[in-house]
Amino acid sequence: MATLTAPSQPASFLKRILPRTLLGRALLIILSPLVLLQVISTWVFYDRHYDTTTKRLSQALAGEIATVIQMMVRDPGSVERLQIFRMAQQSMFLNLKLEEGERLAVISSGESLNPFTSVLERKLTTALTTYVARPFLIDTQFARKQVSIQVQLADGVLHIVVPRDRLFSSTTYIFIMWMVGSSIVLFGVAVVFMRNQVKPIRRLAQAAERFGKGRDVANFKPEGATEVRQAAAAFLQMRHRIKRQIEQRTEFLAGVSHDLRTPLTRMKLQLAMLPGSAESESLQADVSEMEAMVEGYLAFARGEGAEKPVQTEVSHLLSEVVGRMRGQTVAIDLHIEEDLKVPLRREGMRRCLTNLIANAQRYATQVTVSAGRRGHTLEVLIDDDGPGIPPDKREEVFRPFYRLDPSRNPETGGVGLGLTIARDVVHNHGGELTLEDAPGGGLRARIWLPV
Ligand SMILES: Nc1ncnc2c1ncn2[C@@H]1O[C@H](COP(=O)(O)OP(=O)(O)OP(=O)(O)O)[C@@H](O)[C@H]1O
Ligand SMILES: [Mg+2]
């Protein structure tokens, strides 16, 4: 088991740190190769290009210094020396001065280099060692934008001051600046474009979510990339089909029930005219029951579909329903934790709550209704202290016209549509209705509604 669970840990860690939204992920996919590419290319460029240019420039300077020294050795006169210095100043930008009789106290050499020595100093030391081949001292920080080199000659120290530009290529920094700057601009453009691509997907997700919760999806139309349009069009088609199917089914059943009313009324009349007997009374009871069932179904079908959800104060709705149901023999307690506004089909919800409370009232002496928010859901509990429903029957009582007591005695139950209707209403809101044991021993009906 341990070997099976171990590999999932880094994966879950990655999942935790990676962005969750599509926009975040898409941007990460764009950004990470961009940064990686820049780091690699900058590294290569800096390492190679900067190194090579500094080396070449140092070699050129060392060569020039070596030439000047050779010329000075060949024509040692002070007049010639001045001429050489002037020429070096004009055509090589070398500022030369000879301190006669001076000796260098410290000298630079290959051994004095350490890992912190700058590339410039390192390359210059190597080049001077190779080309000039005399003791020397370098000061790359001599003055702003200037480098000083001192070379020990036989009769003194030659001081050379060179502009830094002669040894240093600033293109590296410009290159990095351009690269980082342009990537920031391009990344900004990518964010704007990506956002626009993600927007239709987000709208589609919202529309599907709203439809799932039974809420209105006003002016939703397919837009965006082809695949997103396809998905949106498929969603619209599906929504249309589901709506049509529900309507057709309800209309069909309502039609049958409606048409049954006339023959039932006729039968009732004929039975009333028959001389009273045990059989005719039993038949009359059956006909009355059928009538009640047909009326019950028609009442249910009438409420289907047409109603639109409206923002509703849950506390108002509950107090209204409970207030109407009170005043009968059974006491109803109402607890509302906080005020919540939820889009509800008010008529449907009223019917659902009324059915559940009426059931509790029929079988119990104490009813408690409580409501509160649990995360992203609204929870309504209807508890009673009656006999409850055995766990194996808790699904069956939701079936239409199902009663625990099959006798059809009005004392022990009604038509058997109450719970069916209640669950249908809750489902239409994208919620769930379940039956459980109440803490007080009876039945608890639990309604979950998305907020
Ligand atoms: N609170 C309850 N305690 C015990 N049994 C219940 C409770 N609520 C419902 N039942 C049982 O579940 C059955 C189905 O309930 P449902 O509300 O669907 O129909 P009904 O109450 O019989 O009729 P209707 O509500 O249509 O008038 C009831 O007949 C009853 O046997
Ligand atoms: Mg009922």
Return the CATH number of the domain spanning residue range 20-169: 3.30.450.300
Q: Of 3.30.360.10, 2.60.40.60, 3.90.950.20, 3.30.565.10, which CATH number belongs to 307-450? A: 3.30.565.10
- In this structure, the residue with its CA closest to atom 17 of ligand 1 is 418
Q: What percent of the chain has pLDDT over 90?
A: 43
Q: Where are the domains of the chain?
A: 20-169, 307-450
Asked if the domains at 20-169 and 307-450 fall in one CATH topology, the answer is: no
Q: What is the mean pLDDT of the chain?
A: 87
d(CA 39, CA 51): 17
| CA 81 to chain CA mean position, Å | 77
Which residues fall within 8 angstroms of residue 381, CB to CB, at 6 or more apart?
368, 369, 370, 371, 444, 445, 446, 447
CA 326–ligand 1 middle distance (angstroms): 19
Question: Encoding tokens for residue 218?
Answer: 């006003």
Burial code (b: 16+ CB inside 10 Å, e: under 16) for 91-104 equals ebebebebeeeeee
What is each CA distance from 306 to 77, 230, 239, 245, 310, in whole angstroms?
115, 29, 16, 14, 13
Q: Which residues pair with 434 in a beta bridge?
A: 446
Write the DSSP string, 195-236: HHHHHHHHHHHHHHHHHHTT---TT----SSHHHHHHHHHHH
**What is the pTM for the complete model shown?**
0.64
pLDDT in tens, 71-127: 999 988 888 889 999 999 999 899 999 998 888 888 877 766 777 778 888 889 999
CA 288–ligand 2 middle distance (angstroms): 18
Mutate to test the pocket of ligand 1, among 359, 402, 425 (most ligand atoms within 8 A of CB): 359
Instruction: Look at residue 4 in the predicted model and tell me its pLDDT.
Output: 46
Helices (H) and strands (E) in the chain, counts: 12, 11
- In this structure, the residue with its CA closest to atom 12 of ligand 1 is 397
- Rg of the chain taking only CA atoms, in angstroms: 46
Residue 266 CA neighbour count, 13 Å, CB half = 5
pLDDT in tens, 264-283: 999 999 988 888 788 888 88
Q: In terms of Cα–Cα distance, which of 105, 146, 151, 145 is closest to 128?
A: 151
- In this structure, the residue with its CA closest to atom 7 of ligand 1 is 359
State the burial class of residue 296 (Cβ atoms within 10 Å of its Cβ: 0-12, 13-18, 19+): buried
d(CA 313, CA 167): 79
pLDDT band at 434 (very low <50, low <70, confident <90, very high): very high
